[in-house]
Structures are given as structure tokens and as C-alpha cells.
Amino acid sequence: MNIYKKPDYIPNHFISVANKKLLHRIAAHGHDFFEIEFFVHGKGIHIIDKKEYPIVANSLFLLSPASVHSIETDCAEVITVMFQCECDGDFFTFPNQDPACSPAFYLNEEQAKLLCPLLEELLAFYIDEPRYAILLLQCILHKLNLLTAFKNPPSLPLVQNAMIYMMEHFREKLTLESLAEHFGYSSAYFSELFYQQTGIHFKTYLDNIRFSHAQNLLTFSTLPINEIFLRAGFGDYTNFVRRFKQRFDMTPSEYRNKKCFANS
């Protein structure tokens, strides 16, 4: 399984914006940046973090740096937007980034008519007009946020941006204190606000991202476990194995063997 990494230097937040024809299966892969996939037409199955979502015309998928996904289709047209956030303040109005929330959006004709021109403009201008392209991306994400607002309670900008930051940096040594300092708040205030807005503690949320990614890599990749624990953000191998067994009642090796047997 490939892990696609973002370049060391990204001048305008965009890694790539492209219109692609998919004529074959796309094998399971991950990446350490965000991606929007909008299917103009086509049919198939999008498998994201072990869950299947149908691909139809005007379906859109928002993938995080913690996602592993594959595509089953023999004919589809898709517009992809690969980007980093690194947002501070209110840079993006981002859809809910709770790992439990669906990454799939199924747009009706009216919604698609509003979104398609924005994606086509982004495709045309993301290289030569980066400031305009960023505004277009803001509009796209805002519209996606509106689609989820009725089923997900709105988060304060601070907490929402912190969740996005955690999605991009969960592989690093991330602590409550370092995150609170990054956003200019005391750790006590940040911890209380995060719990009020999400219903879970910072450490639990971070663990959920890391363990979910470890599960994906154990299931879909052949990476050795002593590499997976680093890719998932765990700094100590012994601690990773111990905590994994506490959470799933089996070791990472046993989990992989069970999944491989189930999928064979």
C-alpha cells in the first residue's frame, strides 16, 4: 500500500488539483494531506477506512490524512483536490472532522450546480492565482459544512481548527500543552473547551485517530508493525503493543492475522 506524502514546501496550500478518468481499480492507499474527490459521473464503490460507500454522479468524498481508501470502478470521471490546511484562526470553515462522521456527501442537482463551477474554477486557477484559489476552496468547504450542519452540532472555530490540526499532525509528538500553546491558550482552558465541544477528552480524540490509522495499516498494508506504530504516531513500540492489546484484546500481529483470514 502506498503512502503519499506532501512536498516539503507548499507555497499555496495546494498539492494538486486535477480532472481524472478512472478506468480501473485504484488500490488501497493513504496520504498525509487532505483530499476532496468529486465524481462528475460514473458508478462504483469507494472503500474508506473499511467502510463501503457507493460512487454515483455528484458524489463527493472528503479524505483526511488518517484515511486509507480504495476505489472499485471501471469508468468514472473525478475532480480531485489535494491540499494541506495548517489553518490558524478562521482560515477554513471545515466540515466536522470527528472520525465517526461520514466522509461521503451525496449532492442533489441543485447542490451540484453550485459546487461544480467552484471546482472547475479551482482547476483552472490553482497554480496561477493562488489567492483566488484559496478563496474558492474556502467556499467549497463552507458549502460542505452547510450540508453537515443540520446533523452535526457546530464547533467553535478554535476547537474545529484544533481537530483539523490534529488530523494533520497526529504522527508527530502532539500534546495538550503543545496544541494549546500553538493556538495561544492555556492548556486548562483549551482542555475544558475541547471537551465541551466534542464530548470527549483531547487524549481520547487523539488516540482514536492514531488507533484507527494503525488498524487501517494493519488491514490494508504489508508494512511491518515496527513501522506502522511510527506512521500512526506512537513513539514507543512496546507501549503501542501494550495499549493496542488493552483496547482490542489482541496484539497487532493477531489483529492483522485475523483480518487477513477474514478477507481471504
CA distances from 66 to 131, 161, 217 (A): 27, 16, 10
Query: What are the tens digits of pLDDT across the range 174-216?
Result: 999 999 999 899 999 999 999 998 889 999 999 999 999 999 9
**At which of 100, 127, 149 does a domain end?**
149
User: What is the distance between the alpha carbons of residues 193 and 154, in angstroms, rounded to a whole number?
Assistant: 13
Count of structural domains within the chain: 2
Residues 34 and 76 in one domain: yes
Give the confidence band of 151 by pLDDT, cuts at 50, 70, 90.
very low
Cβ-Cβ contacts under 8 Å for 58 (sequence gap 6 or more): 38, 39, 40, 106, 107, 108, 109, 111, 112
User: What is the distance between the alpha carbons of residues 106 and 59, in angstroms, rounded to a whole number?
Assistant: 5
Residues 243 and 191 in one domain: yes
Residues 68 and 182 in one domain: no
**At which of 149, 179, 201 does a domain end?**
149
User: Which residues does residue 62 pair with via DSSP β-bridges, in sequence order?
Assistant: 36
Give the confidence band of 221 by pLDDT, cuts at 50, 70, 90.
confident
Query: What are the tens digits of pLDDT across the range 122-139?
Result: 999 988 898 899 889 988
Residues 70 and 99 in one domain: yes
CA 23 vs. chain centroid, Å, equals: 24
Query: What are the tens digits of pLDDT across the range 30-68?
Result: 988 899 999 999 999 999 988 999 999 999 999 989 899
Query: The whole model's pTM is what?
Result: 0.81
CB 187 within 8 A of CB 177: yes
Residue 141 structural domain = 2-149
Give the confidence band of 90 by pLDDT, cuts at 50, 70, 90.
very low
CATH classification of the domain holding 10: 2.60.120.280
Query: What are the tens digits of pLDDT across the range 59-74?
Result: 999 998 989 999 999 8
Residues 125 and 169 in one domain: no
Across the beta sheet with 59-63, the strand order is 14-22, 76-83, 34-42, 59-63, 104-106
Host H or E run for residue 159: helix 157-169
